[in-house]
Amino acid sequence: MTFGSRLSAAIGEHGPLCVGIDPHPGLLAKWGLDDDVAGLETFTMTVVEALAGRVAAIKPQAAFFERHGSKGVAVLERALEGIREEGGLSVVDAKRGDIGSTMSAYADAFVGESSPLAGDAVTVSPFLGFGSLRPLLDLAAANGRGVFVLALTSNPEGGEVQHAVPSVSSVSSGPKTVAQNIIDAVAAENAGAGPLGSVGVVVGATVTGAGREHDLSALNGPILAPGIGAQGATADDLREVFGPALRHVLPNSSREVLGAGPTVAGLREAADRTVEAVSLALRA
């Protein structure tokens, strides 16, 4: 099955929610854990135990593992294995982006068939040109994995690049923003796919103003929407931001759910509440 098919089935079974694993020092402290590899592993594997196979997807943020060096990366590998063993879907939030042989190496690492760092999908940055992603897009498709391409991020600085109108576009004619060209390029990757394409975009649930004017209607792929909860977006904001594309939205919540730890029961209750809230918003 393609990633799009697997994700569509997981959303149908568990509801539309991706939970991030963001073991930053503040959350480790809140759980009573030290900011070291042992604390990292306890935190991470508790989240995996609580939620793998119970929410549509789990998204480990690679940076919080890499900051602990090779032992931290080993914890990320164990987390991905644990999610897989529980029948869950994983999205490695790595935001990689480069060109040529370097991009091919990132592809091997994050969507390669036998790589221990490969999840079911990976996030990538297209701001060296969408075509620079080709090695990873092709390998992901060959291995049934997914890709989430940054398009409209939730940070205020993102608009400097994403809302700019380039003088040259390889995707479409006419004046369109960088973000819209990325969205259109992703739509082209997903053309004819069903029930859902395997290439998605990342669009922050907190985007405002010009960010809400972009057209996602032809995407035919999943929209990973961070920002629910601690970053300020509510489930009701989803309708305002995504409009007709709501049916493809996969909201992401990290601290809102993770803050309910350190118990498995607390994490599950928080995830269930969030699923209920976003499901109501998306249905409305």
Task: List beta partners, residue 200.
Answer: 148
Q: Count of alpha carbons within 13 Å of 247, Cβ hemisphere only?
A: 8
* Maximum separation of any 2 CA atoms in the chain, in Å: 55
* CA–CA gap between residue 70 and residue 223 (Å, rounded): 31
CA 39 to chain centre: 24
Please give the Cα distance from 129 to 188 (Å, whole number). Answer: 15
176: Cβ–Cβ under 8 A, 6 or more apart, which residues?
Answer: 165, 169, 184
Q: Provide the 3-class DSSP secondary structure of residue 215.
A: coil
Whether a cis peptide bond, with omega within 30° of 0, leads into 135 is no
Q: Which of 30, 59, 71, 95 is catalytic?
A: 95
Tokens for 111, please give them: 């969507």
Would you call 30 a catalytic residue per the annotation?
no
Rg, Å, the chain Cα set: 18
Q: Which residues are known to be catalytic?
A: 95
